[in-house]
Amino acid sequence: LAPTSGYSLFSSYEWASEALGGSVNFQRVEAGGSYHFPLSQSWLVHTGLRGGFILSEGASADNIPFNSRFFTGGENTVRGYREGLATPLDSNGDELGSESYVLMNLELEQRLSRSLSIVEFVDAVYFSREGLYDGGNDFLYSVGLGIRYQTVVGPIRLEYGYNPEPRPQDPKGRLHLSVGFPF
């Protein structure tokens, strides 16, 4: 619920095919992990790295449903954005979702007491609108501060992510109140 050392790994694979009775053909792969280690009794470092890609047979517009694309942003990915908005946008500012991405999270946590700590973080995502890092590539990042209160169900987090280089339609930052460790 509140890691202080060790690592976590995950992966997922999704396959959609007309041969399985569906109406689309694609494969979606996602993998990642996190590593946590103490610098001292009161200083902790948390790192996270994950990524994913979608492969499709034929035109991706015909074979990748909108809800199967990747939508980063929010309290557990890029904290300077609302949920799902750190993603490719069309000319009207509407979300398109990405077909591939790499997400990095880095945190430095300072414990003030057994249950209270402050955290500094950097979240960054590199994504592609089409294919494996082709067409419409973009890089977004946020830096921020937060305060955490440890409970039996995980930390209650109040964090503000600031976007130093937002796109014209992006916010300058975002305040999040959430429960649980972010990655």
pLDDT number for residue 135: 61
Contacts of 61 (CB under 8 A, 6+ apart): none
Closest CA to 69 of 129, 156, 121, 7: 129
Q: Of how many residues is the chain composed?
A: 183
pLDDT number for residue 67: 94
Q: Which amino acid is at 156?
A: I
pLDDT class of 61 with cuts at 50, 70, 90: confident
The pLDDT tens digits for 106-145 are 999 999 999 999 999 999 999 998 877 666 678 999 999 9
Percent pLDDT > 70 in the chain is 98
Give all strands (DSSP E) within 57-169, no chain letters. 100-111, 116-128, 138-151, 154-162
Helices (H), the chain: 60-63
Mean pLDDT of 161-174: 96
